[in-house]
Chains A and B, each alone.
Chain A
């Protein structure tokens, strides 16, 4: 298969793979773009005045050691770590489509990343933040302002994202359906309500200004809707100078809200609430997780772990009004509700297809806590956990499942209500349900051969087909001739045909493949010459079924049908058909062949040298046919290995026993009506003959009697031919 790099790189992911389907979230809602603006002015270097003791070991130490002074984070550090936590949760739950642009503002603007998907991860942001460093308290406060950052945020919101660009390109005429909305989260320390109003006015003005500019550009889009979230951070123990304010529409494009929060853990829980509001998240607490303590390996304590995910995972609870019943107050924020689900220890690792109505990525609230990491590691190792919905009374209901796929953990919603599809008619009652000899195993093999695998985005083949199109065309080729039931086919019941049948369906054949196919054909010719029985179905026909030569005629016809279906694929496929046409027995041609045979008699010696030294009698008609083909092959491609190869091909299995049984049968019996027993036995023997190699004993038996311990005779130098094998 030849691949080349396709010029277009398509963006990964649909807008919302099952993450927002039922809430009607729009692809380009306000949450598509989030611009963080963090104040880097000198006053942000101020301490948040919450002390953290990091010298914990002194307790167990000798008295003489003076403990180190506790440390305290600056307002800047608080702002950074809380915004990083916001991003961590966001990127966990929405690895695509929800983009963050991080801006730091002091006397100038530092834009730490872009809307590009590859820039969307916390590691990159942390590296960029390290380069910025904490605010410099000695910098002149007069030239520093968060305003620079807000202006940059508006400019940035006007910039088109990859997703917007791709959607606009695909929509063509209706490109105007792609909206441009966004949110600005500004973490700052404001001086007063008036200062806040000044910031809002500035954003509004900038939007109006930038929208005019954007109207005339391809890479820019005017902002249709912008949500400004101003978070005023002040140190512990100080009075706030800024009052909280609910969301207010400042214009048709801009709404604004103000949160006045103390730094430290208050800020953290505020941003945690905000990320849930902004991205429609909800909280689930997994309860009763049994974990072994390192110190007490024999006992296990139960832990709870709180997870965040899209709120649709709770849809059933919300609608049925069960939410309040199931919910309890979250330990962390004190503001939001969490739904409690009970851990059900998985019994087996069995692979089961659950009826799952949604799957939502999760993010642990407390990612580094021991219970959280125990749970996530358990899941990442490939185990799934069913979750039970606590009910006041009645039976236990499994409503969710936690499971990881490729290093991502999902909360699956399982259907727990009555199914409308219950008690359907069984497939055996419908069309084709009474047929019993479907080629189930063969089709299973076919399915394995047609399994799918992911190909890199840029891989399309020379014909410009995507992998999925290639998969379809492979299925088309593989099914050109595919009888569904055992009694409809002879060739697919024969081990001897397998190499050819596997190769002929391929898109391209190598010379070696052609050779293998030819060998298969020669092998069949050999079988026919020896009158080996074929697994021809006797279903529906009276008597023992067709005679041997008729059987072979059926077999050859079927083989030809198979190969003819592929003859147009390539010239090499054509050659396989030619080989069959040349080799197969066709009664009218018998005479002609004999004539040809006589002409070539002189060449026989040479062939025999190469051939096996068995059964000289066998080299009459069939070998002539073979040679005829070989001659032509030589003319075509001057490859003489064929001559060497054909006699080496594996000898067909079972040849004698069925012959013996048939000979036993009185001739009149075969012509007259057949007893049920005979019909049955024939059928069974035929079915069996396909399934296994015939016992060596039965193969060499006479009148169904095989002599045991022949090797002893051999060793004793006695005549082996006694048992009749060689005498035939």
Chain B
């Protein structure tokens, strides 16, 4: 989940904060302090997060495009300039563009708006934007809700009382509502000082940037892992089951499946599974970091040298071309597999399926998957030549069975012609002739299209009169028999018009060819 930090750089951010003590702070300084804390946290615990920094006033500027280089982000914070008034709508539109250009519209993003809560006056102010939100034409729509899934966090360098004194708080709340309620407003508690800004950003970190640690299990083989990006709770049906489902911290492998059998399943999200070393105190020490302190590096080297289940699993999944099915919670599954990037680096990846008992129709119900060794006969065959997957549905789809559709005249004409074509090749084509005839008969009976049966009967009778002298005598018998049967069916008489009944070839003295098939 990439992050955009949207920083208010209007003049009001330079308002001084009264603090007892020697140094005088501006709100901007407090904001920078908080963001520094956020970036430091990400650099150590959430280092794979892509973050970009956008500053805005009446205009907006992309200071740092999406990056994992937190030094650059920090540097940009140190070189901020002050501009004119706050104009949030344009800035949010800017964020929307920046995100869509980089990630498209399906990737969820977090937007962290850092502001003093003075949201502008007159045209371009948030108040004005919100008042006119319903009068927009198509190309000037308010940027919220964002077209991509998002969370909007508003970090106010102000306390709640201050914001409630004006309509700022109301406006911000309205903003979150416009984003479908996805987001939260944070305000400072107590006097505006470094401590309270720390505690506010601390809350944001806990809420949005706490790493997801879990234990990956395969029977008794385990590994402590970080799952990145952290899996977010999912709601399937707000009406029946409004409680969001969360991924449990015990990821239990239930078994293995060939890549060909799981065959590119649709997934909710993908996550890296990074083994982590847990020291004796229970603290986590990085995920294979490269530029930590010396002490940590040595610990990491140690961790690198002790065998880890993730590495073993990854290696075997890669070599065998398999995936591991992993249970994420009650009735919720995912898969682990080896994912190689363009540079031939590979990694253990976890994809989450939709929550539910049967996320992939071709695997069937997940709870009904059991060890192949329990089956009476090896479902994979003794030489691995078979597979129990995919599961066949009970009924074939229309395109997999020979359905009859006469909505277009051409459909009906083709079917009649097929019969006539075969009629000309009697008795060689007796079986196909009757097969096509019966297909037409069934459809005509179902559609109540008796007129067609009469017509086709007449066609066959005429065919019979047009038979050349050289024709096999059986052809004439079969044609008139078929015509007669169709006529009987068209009467609607239940004796002849039963749907499941078929017209069978007439048994004749000549039916050496046609009749032989039935004997």
Contact = CB atoms under 8 A, between A and B. Distances in A.
Interface of A: 1, 10, 12-15, 17-18, 21, 24, 26-28, 52-57, 61, 65, 68-69, 71-74, 76-77, 80-82, 84-85, 88-89, 91-92, 95, 118, 121-122, 126-127, 129-135, 167, 171, 177-179, 265, 268, 315-316, 319-320, 351-359, 361, 363-364, 366-368, 372-373, 376, 380, 384, 401, 403, 405-409, 412-413, 415-435, 438-441, 443-444, 446-457, 459, 466-468, 470-472, 474-480, 482, 484-485, 488
A440 B318 CA distance: 10
7 contacts: A355-B351, A356-B267, A363-B399, A408-B362, A424-B341, A446-B316, A451-B322
Given A28-B239, A351-B259, 15 more contacts: A18-B359, A130-B442, A171-B241, A320-B147, A351-B260, A356-B265, A364-B398, A384-B264, A405-B362, A416-B104, A425-B345, A434-B305, A450-B255, A453-B375, A474-B373
B358 interface: yes
A129 B443 CA distance: 10
Contacts of B446: 80, 84, 126-127, 129-130
B456 A54 contact: yes
Contacts, number: 476
A452 B196 CA distance: 54
B100 interface: yes
Nearest to A415: B106
Contacts of A52: 409, 412-413
A315 B236 CA distance: 18
Main secondary structure of the interface of A (DSSP, over half): mixed
Interface stretch (B78-86, B150-158, B271-279, B428-436): B271-279
B354 A14 contact: yes
Interface string B111-128: 000000000000000000
A454 B259 contact: no
Given A26-B240, A71-B451, A368-B405, A430 B369 contact: no
B48 A424 contact: yes
A80 B449 CA distance: 10
Contact of A432 (B253, B310, B443): B310
Of all A-B residue pairs in the complex, the 10 with the closest CB atoms, nearest first, are A432-B308, A467-B370, A14-B356, A134-B448, A417-B104, A479-B219, A430-B288, A406-B390, A130-B499, A405-B362
Given A372-B399, A451-B257, A353 B337 contact: yes
Nearest to A375: B399
Given A427-B314, A430-B274, A484-B307, A126 B347 contact: no
A27 B239 contact: yes
B466 interface: yes
A352 B337 CA distance: 12
B304 A433 contact: yes
Nearest to A372: B399
Given A26-B237, A26-B240, A316 B105 contact: yes
B495 interface: no
Nearest to A377: B399
Contact of B393 (A10, A82, A357, A407): A407
A319 B306 contact: no
B413 A455 contact: no
B332 to A, nearest CB: 11
Given A129-B448, A368-B411, A471 B371 contact: yes
Interface in B146-199: 147-148
A223 to B, nearest CB: 16
B407 A77 contact: no
B72 interface: no
Nearest to A446: B316
B320 A444 contact: yes
Nearest to A95: B393
B397 A92 contact: yes
A316 B104 CA distance: 8
Interface in B315-350: 315-317, 319-325, 327, 337, 341, 343, 345-349
A95 B394 CA distance: 10
Contacts of B375: 453, 455
Contacts of A17: 354, 356, 358-361
Interface residues of B, number: 159
Given A448-B256, A482-B220, A130 B306 contact: no
B206 interface: no
Interface string B66-82: 00000000000000000
Given A10-B365, A368-B403, A55 B459 contact: yes
B1 interface: yes
Contact of A435 (B306, B388, B391): B306
B280 interface: no
B136 interface: no
B303 interface: yes
A477 B371 CA distance: 12
A474 B355 CA distance: 24
A417 B288 CA distance: 27
Contact of B406 (A81, A428, A451, A455): A81
A403 B261 CA distance: 13
Contact of B319 (A415, A418, A441, A466): A441
A433 B288 contact: yes
Given A420-B107, A421-B48, A450-B255, A12 B399 contact: no
Given A52-B413, A359-B265, A440 B371 contact: no
Contacts of B260: 351
A17 to B, nearest CB: 6
B356 A476 contact: no
Given A129-B446, A412-B264, A457 B256 contact: no
B445 interface: yes
Contacts of A77: 447-449
Given A52-B412, A403-B263, A472-B252, A18 B2 contact: no
A409 B399 CA distance: 9
Given A134-B448, A359-B265, A457-B368, A451 B106 contact: no
Given A131-B499, A355-B267, A443-B312, A471 B104 contact: no
A484 B311 CA distance: 10
Given A54-B413, A417-B103, A438-B307, A467 B397 contact: no
Contact of B455 (A13, A71, A88): A71
Contacts of B304: 429-435
Interface string B406-434: 11110111101100100000000000000
Contacts of A478: 219
A464 to B, nearest CB: 13
A444 B369 contact: no
B266 A356 contact: yes
Contacts of B316: 440-441, 443-444, 446-447
Contact of A455 (B300, B311, B369): B369
Contacts of B256: 447-448, 450-452
A406 B392 contact: yes
Interface string B382-404: 00100011111111111110011
B229 A129 contact: no
Nearest to A27: B237
Contacts of B48: 421, 424
A71 B147 CA distance: 53
Contacts of B211: none
Interface in B444-485: 445-452, 455-456, 458-459, 462, 466
Contacts of B497: 130, 133
B133 interface: no
A438 B265 CA distance: 29
B319 A438 contact: no
Contacts of A482: 219-221
Contact of B303 (A71, A384, A431, A450): A431
B313 interface: yes
Contacts of B445: 130, 133
Nearest to A416: B104
A322 B71 CA distance: 37
Contact of B239 (A26, A54, A315, A446): A26
